[in-house]
Amino acid sequence: MHDTGLSARAAGASSSSSSSPYAGSSPSSAATNPGDDDDESKTRKAHPAFVAAAYARLHSSHRAAVSLLLLIAVAATAFLAGRAHPRADCLPPRIDARFLALQDAAAASDFGSLGVPWCRSKTGKIVEWTSKDLLNGLEEFVPIYETRPIKNNMNGMGFDHSFGLWFMARWLKPDLMIESGAFKGHSTWVLRQAMPNTRIISITPRHPEKYLRKGPAYVDGNCTYLSGREGFIDFGSVDWEKLLRKHGISDPSRVLVFFDDHQSELKRLKQALKAGFRHLIFEDNYDTGTGDHYSLRQICDQSHIRGGGHSCFWDSDEARLRSKRKKFWEKAVEIDELCGKDDAWWGIRGYKRDNFNRSNEAISHKEHFQNSRLLESVLDLYWELPPVAGPSLTHQTRYDPARASDPIIEDGRYGLFQRIGLARLDTSVFNGYTQMVYVQISGTVLS
Ligand SMILES: C[S@@+](CC[C@H](N)C(=O)[O-])C[C@H]1O[C@@H](n2cnc3c(N)ncnc32)[C@H](O)[C@@H]1O
């Protein structure tokens, strides 16, 4: 495994969130585009036959001559103007109000400064890969993604996270891959595409083969499944030393662990650290006020961290901006949703959620602060996956781009979006973005 540090991101940006009943990022309803049906081809043009008929109705020869010249000029202009328009099928996608709102760069950056935290690592290390590597990876991944066995992975990963997981697994080249939370097996398939010969351990209560009875699912031939009534054991209860030894792995720091199990990320981080794992990916790094488990992004949302901390005043700039953005983005959070009793804004209204929100424990601001200190003390690297493309290209409607890193393909670059093959994909696959995060950790924590 490469010892990574990279990043295509300057300190500051961040993202959004989502909570779905028991999945995390769930591609759902396809984006609709109010302006889609009024294309340029409907521009009216004067027709030559109409010009001739108008001429025949004129009596005075002088008036007729002048009028004829005028009409010919109008008709010619209209005809040429019509030709100058691109053909309707070559038009770039229509941009609706939400995307025009993005042009309000000041609003986006103000919003960012009001609360887009980026976890601080103790080493300041960044990832090795660049935005060019991500772009090249995208080009390679699109045709792979098109061969996925589970076309509709509702309640599982969409395109963005599939790409992120594939890209990172392939870059890191681990000796073993562990996933916690497999559902029908899409993420197992993604890991397999990244590393064709590397062993996978998949921990998930229901074996993916059970889903095969009802439709597409993926069961991997080189995977140890800890699942089913007999086999399932929670990540935190596995005897990792024994299991790794059984798989011929002597160095846990060369293992990649992927969590999509909707458990408190603080809990998972401590368990992973205890087992000696160093490279972790969390699929659903929820933003403050959203999601069904306490996330790293939430933990790092602290007043002392740049972009972190919130104000619960209903007439603050933040409240106004949140209210504005809520009109455009489904998962945006208004100030009254963000804040709970006694103006508790951290986690989810002052609560630390766990296990798909089956557990919901109130925490004090002090405890929330201590959690961030603990996280910082073991964090060597923190990197959030950017959205693959801007929302005017993907037509995603859920996640506020002001809460995410800059997209790999920025709005307006339709030619690139199309050339890479992303325009071929159904827009619904882009609707599941949350800020998937890759972290490197080291050290020890008590408890
Ligand atoms: C969001 S789905 C995973 C989606 C999957 N990674 C994909 O890309 O399609 C969450 C999965 O976590 C499983 N799960 C629930 N509790 C779990 C636990 N304690 N450990 C591991 N998986 C768990 C659920 O049964 C479900 O299959």
Rounded average pLDDT over 213-223: 97
pLDDT of residue 446: 66
Query: pLDDT tens digits for 256-314?
Result: 999 999 999 999 999 999 999 999 999 999 999 999 999 999 999 998 888 889 989 98
What's the distance, Cα to Cα, between the start and end of the chain in Å? Answer: 28
For residue 25 and ligand 1, the question of a CB distance below 6 A is answered with no
Assess whether the C-beta atom of 142 lies below 6 angstroms from ligand 1. no
pLDDT confidence of residue 447 = 62
Q: Which residue has the higher pLDDT, 119 or 27?
A: 119
Q: Is the CB of 331 under 6 A from ligand 1?
A: no
pLDDT at 326 over 90: yes
What pLDDT, on the 0 to 100 scale, is given for residue 314? 87
pLDDT at position 70 is 57
Cβ of 204 below 6 Å from ligand 1: yes
- Percent of the chain exceeding pLDDT 90 equals 66
Bridge pairing between strands 279-282 and 255-259: parallel
Mean pLDDT for the stretch of residues 219-243: 97
pLDDT-derived band at 318, boundaries 50, 70, 90? confident
* Ligand 1 atom having least distance to the Cα of 24: 1
- What is the distance in A from the centroid of ligand 1 to the CA of 44? 55
Going by alpha carbons, the residue nearest to atom 6 of ligand 1 is 182
Pocket flag, ligand 1, residue 153 (CB < 6 Å)? yes
Can you give the pLDDT at residue 44? Answer: 28
Check residue 54 and give its pLDDT: 34
- Among protein residues, the one whose CA lies closest to atom 9 of ligand 1: 156
Ligand 1 atom nearest residue 157's Cα: 8
For the segment 344-365, the average pLDDT, to the nearest whole number, is 97
In this prediction, residue 304 carries a pLDDT of: 85
**Rounded to the nearest whole angstrom, what is the distance from the C-alpha of residue 46 to the centroid of ligand 1?**
61
CA distance linking residue 401 with residue 407, whole number of Å? 8
Please check the confidence at residue 40 and state whether its pLDDT lies above 70: no
At 1, is the pLDDT very low, low, confident or very high (cuts 50, 70, 90)? low
pLDDT tops 80 at residue 71: no
Q: Is the CB of 354 under 6 A from ligand 1?
A: no
pLDDT for residue 56 is more than 90: no
Q: Is the CB of residue 206 below 6 angstroms from any atom belonging to ligand 1?
A: yes
Q: Is the CB of 24 under 6 A from ligand 1?
A: yes
Residue to mutate, 25, 183, 193, 353, ligand 1, most ligand atoms under 8 Å from C-beta:
183
pTM of the model: 0.80
- pLDDT at 180 exceeding the cut of 70: yes
Pairing mode, if any, of strands 199-203 and 223-226? parallel
- Looking at residue 311, its pLDDT comes to 87
Inform me whether the pLDDT recorded for 2 exceeds 70. Answer: no
How confident is the model over 82-140, as pLDDT tens digits?
333 333 333 333 334 444 444 443 444 444 445 578 899 999 999 999 999 999 999 99
> Could you tell me which of 344, 320, 346, 352 has the C-alpha nearest to residue 334?
320
Rounded distance from Cα 228 to ligand 1 centre (Å): 13
Mean pLDDT of the chain: 81
Among the ranges 52-56, 240-244, 331-335, 431-435, which has the highest mean pLDDT value?
Answer: 240-244
Distance, CA 156 to ligand 1 centroid (Å)? 9
Span 14-24, average pLDDT: 31
User: Residue 253: is its pLDDT beyond 70?
Assistant: yes
Nearest CA to ligand 1 atom 11: 181
Does the structure show a pLDDT above 70 at 50?
Answer: no
Q: Is 181 in the pocket of ligand 1 (CB under 6 A)?
A: yes
